[in-house]
Amino acid sequence: MQIDTKVKIKTPTTPFEKELEKALNDYTYTLAETINGGLKISDNFSAYTVTQADTGGANVAFTVEHTLKRVPSGFIVVNIDKAGIIYDAGTTWTVDKVYLKCSVANCAAKIVIL
């Protein structure tokens, strides 16, 4: 389903109604373009997506740098190339780093830091 890019209202008669119609149509166009083009996690959440090429050894901490400028609240593994589990390493996260571990060595993964 696609969202229409124009507001359907009666024909404006006053200058205020004409300005309102223009503002609503501009806003609706921008909103429709965003939604119709497909929403990304970063469109809806304060998040940082990273591709980790290699998690290193099994159950060994690896560092993921991010640009959120705050301590993250969690993470979502979007894709992983092996049958492993990525989990919190137990080291305190910072405003620019997250510490994780993977149960399998040398995984490549796409991770969303929230």
Rg for the chain, CA atoms, rounded: 22
Pairing of strands 48-52, 109-113: antiparallel
Residues 31 and 48 in one domain: no
Confidence of residue 67 (pLDDT cuts 50, 70, 90): very high
Same domain, 77 and 95: yes
83 and 97 in a common domain: yes
pLDDT at 105 > cutoff 90: yes
Same domain for 54 and 28: no
pLDDT given for residue 3 in this prediction: 66
Identify the three-state secondary structure at position 62. strand
101 and 53, same domain (yes or no) = yes
Give me the chain's average pLDDT, please. Answer: 89
Query: Is residue 102 located within the same domain as residue 47?
Result: yes
Q: Average pLDDT, stretch 40-50? A: 79
pLDDT for the residue 34: 76
Where in the sequence is the domain holding 9, given as residue range(s)?
A: 1-39
47 and 8 within one domain:
no
Structurally, the chain folds into a number of domains equal to 2
What pLDDT is recorded for position 37?
A: 73
34 and 79 both lie in a single domain? no
> How many angstroms separate the CA atoms of 48 and 72, rounded?
10
Tell me the mean pLDDT in the region 11-31.
87
Q: What is the 3-state secondary structure (H, E, C) of 84-103?
A: CCEEECCCCCCCCEEEEEEC
Residues 54 and 33 in one domain: no
- Say whether pLDDT at 87 is over 70: yes
Whether residue 5 is found in the same domain as residue 17: yes
pTM: 0.67
